[in-house]
Amino acid sequence: MRILVTGGAGFVPSHLCDLLLSQGHEVVAVDNFVTGSARNVAHLSEHPGFRLVVADVSRELPVEGRFDRIYHMASPASPIDYVQLPFETLLAGSDATKLALERARADGARFLLASTSEVYGDPTVHPQVEGYWGNVNPIGPRSVYDEAKRYAEAFTMAAHRTWGVPTRIVRIFNTYGPRMRLDDGRVMPAFCGQALRGEPLTVFGDGTQTRSFCYVSDLVDGITRLMESELVGPCNIGNPHEMTMLALADAINRTTGNTAGIVFRPLPTDDPTQRRPDITRAREGLGWTPKVGFEEGVARTVAYFAERLSS
Ligand SMILES: NC(=O)c1ccc[n+]([C@@H]2O[C@H](COP(=O)([O-])OP(=O)(O)OC[C@H]3O[C@@H](n4cnc5c(N)ncnc54)[C@H](O)[C@@H]3O)[C@@H](O)[C@H]2O)c1
């Protein structure tokens, strides 16, 4: 198949490009490097099935020819990024989603939206099931991301109902692995960077807030399965293995041999207190479960960051 991946030079989307190419598809990645980097796909530059186009997908999709599949992955995604890039984030959810869906309609392509567990906000239902409508602050600093993704989901469902576009929506939970940026502000690279530099790890609040971390190869496996399934409604993909930030800090200090301990800082505004996906729909509908255990995933990620810091 011929496949378009918006945001293809980002952390998750670059792994998606790798997987799609390994399955024998032709892939066109479109990215403006607002938060991604050509380095993430540099290893694909000689691949005959791969092409990287530099463009802002909120404005245009300057790629000729018909696509069979469109994965709309472009958006700033870490809290630091979307607070610094509020309008770019809103437009990635709104204008870019509209353009990509119009292209899917014109091409007769299947479309998948990369949505997020942030549509659940600070959830009052735990673990989060797809039927939960969420608890989002519409005007808080995180709202540019949360509400853009909620709008993108609404646009996607409207395109499905009104235009008949075959659409899929993946609600991605915290994902980690190689090609994350050390300075993207997310907890996993932040802890790894501090630990590898021998510094104390910064824990926000009292560290009892929880997250569930999915290794990136498991995530992109789930995303491609969802695209090829018949599940139209949103589908959570994430690892239900939930842990506190204190437990994560301990694990990273242990893996890296860091003895500098931890320091506490005030909790940022609207930081969700708990996060764990209910993955019944993915398990039953896609035959998907995460395969990479936490220790293994952390070891691979630490090795990647260690190499980046030394190069
Ligand atoms: N990583 C996670 O834990 C996570 C969790 C939930 C949802 N997601 C979603 O998955 C997708 C990828 O996230 P990621 O973590 O890999 O982030 P990322 O920032 O590494 O990747 C996003 C990519 O999109 C590109 N991009 C952004 N706006 C663009 C535009 N207007 N035109 C062209 N390219 C643009 C960026 O340059 C970047 O390469 C995002 O849609 C994000 O919301 C990720």
Question: Measured from the CB, is residue 7 less than 6 Å from ligand 1?
Answer: yes
Q: What are phi and psi of 58, to 5 degrees?
A: -75, -15
**Cβ 75 under 6 angstroms from ligand 1:** yes
Give tens-digit pLDDT for 10-40. 999 999 999 999 999 999 999 999 999 999 9
pLDDT tens track for 134-189:
999 999 989 999 999 999 999 999 999 999 999 999 999 999 999 999 999 899 99
Q: What is the mean pLDDT of residues 32-61?
A: 97
Share of the chain above pLDDT 70, in %: 100
Mean pLDDT of 206-227: 96
What are the φ and ψ backbone dihedral angles of 119, each rounded to 5 degrees?
-65, -20
Q: How far is the CA of 142 from the centre of ligand 1 (A)?
A: 15
pLDDT at 132: 97
d(CA 248, CA 266): 18
Is 304 one of the annotated active-site residues of the chain? Answer: no
Q: Contact, 249 vs 191, CB < 8 A?
A: yes
pLDDT at 243 over 90: yes
pLDDT at 208: 94
Query: For the CA atoms of 141, 128, 180, 35, what is the dihedral angle to 10 degrees?
Result: -40
Which one-letter DSSP state was computed for residue 266? P
Q: Measured in angstroms, how far is the CA atom of residue 259 from the centroid of ligand 1?
A: 33
Decide: 65 and 124 in contact? Cβ < 8 Å: no
The pLDDT value given to residue 32? 98
- The DSSP bridge partners found for residue 168 are 112
pLDDT, tens digit (0-9, with 9 covering 90-100), for 70-81? 999 999 999 899
Q: What pLDDT was estimated at residue 161?
A: 98
Task: Report in angstroms the alpha-carbon separations of 202 from 93, 187, 218.
Answer: 31, 9, 27
pLDDT at residue 271 is higher than 80: no
Nearest-angstrom CA–CA distance, 255 and 241: 18
Q: What is the pLDDT of residue 267?
A: 87
Report pLDDT for 272: 77
Measured from the Cα of 37, ligand 1's closest atom is: 39
In the reported structure, the alpha carbon of residue 14 is separated from the centroid of ligand 1 by a whole-number distance in angstroms of 10
User: 10 CA distance to ligand 1 centroid (A)?
Assistant: 6
The ligand 1 atom nearest the CA atom of 9? 39
Buried b (16+ CB within 10 A) or exposed e, 82-99: bbebeebbbbbbbebbbb
Residue 90: half-sphere exposure toward Cβ, Cα within 13 Å:
10
pTM over 0.85: yes
DSSP reduced 3-state for 251: helix
pLDDT of residue 75: 98
Give pLDDT, residue 310: 87
Instruction: Tell me which residue has tokens 């995303």.
Output: 223
Q: Is 90 exceeded by the pLDDT of residue 95?
A: yes
Residue 76 contacts residue 37 (beta carbons within 8 Å): no
At residue 305's C-alpha, the angle toward residues 299 and 310, to 5°, is 125
**Ligand 1 pocket check: which of 19, 31, 187, 223 to mutate, most ligand atoms within 8 Å of Cβ?**
31
Q: Which residue has the tokens 């009292």?
A: 206
Ligand 1 site, residue 130, Cβ cutoff 6 A: no
Dist. CA 280–CA 178, nearest whole Å: 27
Given the CA of residue 14, which atom of ligand 1 is nearest to it? Answer: 16
Count Cβ neighbours within 10 Å for each residue of 251-267 and write b for 16 or more, e otherwise. Answer: bbbebbebeeebeeeee
Q: Strand 175-176 relative to strand 214-215: parallel, antiparallel, unpaired?
A: parallel
What's the gap in Å between 76 CA and the centre of ligand 1?
5
Among residues 145, 151, 176, 215, the one annotated as catalytic is 145
